[in-house]
Structure 1
Amino acid sequence: MRKIKNPWSKKEGYDCFGCSPDNPIGLHMEFFEDGDEVVSFWRPQEHYQGWVDTLHGGIISALIDETAGWVVFRKLQTAGMTSRLSVSFKKPVMTTDPQLILRAHIVESKRNFITIHVTLENAQSQLCAEGDVTYYAMNEDKTREMGFTTCDLEGEELLAF
């Protein structure tokens, strides 16, 4: 498993709610490549709750959507945008949980439309939510216009979690 470099980190105006490390109210997600999957380890915080100690469903949806986007960046080496997001909530996600694990992989590709399946597990490896996200993968000209050039990996391989 290796960390994925953020392809937007030097882009002027970049302030993504999901992955910008500098967004003061953002999720500050980071991503790793593990074979065919993109993985994120995320620590919930109480100010993202919907009910006492329970993570808001919109935040769960944002985590799933952002993870799917990074599959497009890394696996297809292009930018894209969500065209459909379907989330199934299986079990409450607690803001007191020390870590959540999101895993995503491509399940289908038809022309520029990519379907990605994402799972969200709590620290006890229980499936709490899963989603299917359809992404529109942009063509090379539009991708370059947006400032995307490549989505590479950092340094050495990390131990599997």
Structure 2
Amino acid sequence: MRRKIINPYNPQLNKCFGCSKTNPIGLKMEFEEVDNYIMAVWEPKEYYQGYINVLHGGIIATLLDEAGAWCVTVKMGTAGVTSELKVRYLKPVFMNRGNINIKARILKVEDRHVYLKCELTDGNGKICAESEAVFFTYPEEIAKRKFGFPGKEQFFEK
């Protein structure tokens, strides 16, 4: 099963660096649900480089973290915040190799903690970075009140 995930957050208020379409310096990530994981295809821009033609490591970590957050949101139906993020940089991400793919999937859930695995592949399909993350999740009503969570039904077309 594959379906596009809609970003239902108010574009006037949501300035998330990872996913907002209205943040002029943001990453503007978009996601799809594919079976048991979520994924994004992202086009690197030259102003996100560290070394010449190499994607900055902080941007790599942000891409992995954002994918994890959307995985929690879609799969768990609530908002969560990053408790831990361990990134392994396996090889440089050369920006001239095309779009980057980011995937995230849930490994396990313990109480309100969600454990995830994320990976980032370059335009040649080589895994360049991976992460393990733990997100702390909130009950849906608290997520709505504190974080503006719109409700799990808002992330897909009806």
TM-score range, shorter chain: over 0.9
Secondary structure of the residue that 1:17 maps to in structure 2? coil
- In structure 2, the partner of 1:119 is 119
Contact 1:46 1:96 in 2 (8 A): no
- In structure 2, the partner of 1:153 is 156
Runs of 4+ off more than 6 Å: none
Of 146-155 and 17-26, more deviation after overlay is shown by 146-155
- In structure 1, the partner of 2:45 is 45
- In structure 1, the partner of 2:91 is 91
Q: Which amino acid aligns with 2:130?
A: E
C-alpha distance in 1 between matches for 2:128 and 2:91:
4
Contact 2:68 2:104 in 1 (8 A): yes
Mapping for residues 35-114 of structure 1, pairs under 5 Å: 35-114=35-114
C-alpha distance in 1 between matches for 2:11 and 2:76:
20
Listed one character per residue, the Cα deviations across residues 125-155 of structure 1 (whole Å, up to 9, x for unaligned) are 1010000110001112211202211242247
Per-residue deviation at 1:59?
0.1
The answer for unaligned runs of 5 or more in structure 1 is 156-161
**Which is helix-richer, 1 or 2?**
2
Per-residue deviation at 1:12?
4.8
- In structure 1, the partner of 2:17 is 17
C-alpha distance in 2 between matches for 1:107 and 1:12:
34
Identity %: 37
Per-residue deviation at 1:7?
2.9
Q: Which amino acid aligns with 1:6?
A: N
**TM-score normalised by length of structure 1:** 0.91
Of 33-42 and 146-155, more deviation after overlay is shown by 146-155
C-alpha distance in 1 between matches for 2:22 and 2:96:
24
C-alpha distance in 1 between matches for 2:88 and 2:116:
14
Per-residue deviation at 1:31?
0.2
Counterpart check, 1:6 vs 2:12: no
**TM-score normalised by length of structure 2:** 0.93
Secondary structure of the residue that 1:106 maps to in structure 2? strand
Contact 2:77 2:140 in 1 (8 A): no
Q: Which amino acid aligns with 2:38?
A: V
Per-residue deviation at 1:11?
6.1
The answer for unaligned runs of 5 or more in structure 2 is none
Aligned residue pairs, count: 154
Compare relative contact order (CA 8 Å, sep 6+) and give the higher one, 1 or 2.
Answer: 1
C-alpha distance in 1 between matches for 2:126 and 2:61:
17
C-alpha distance in 2 between matches for 1:153 and 1:101:
21
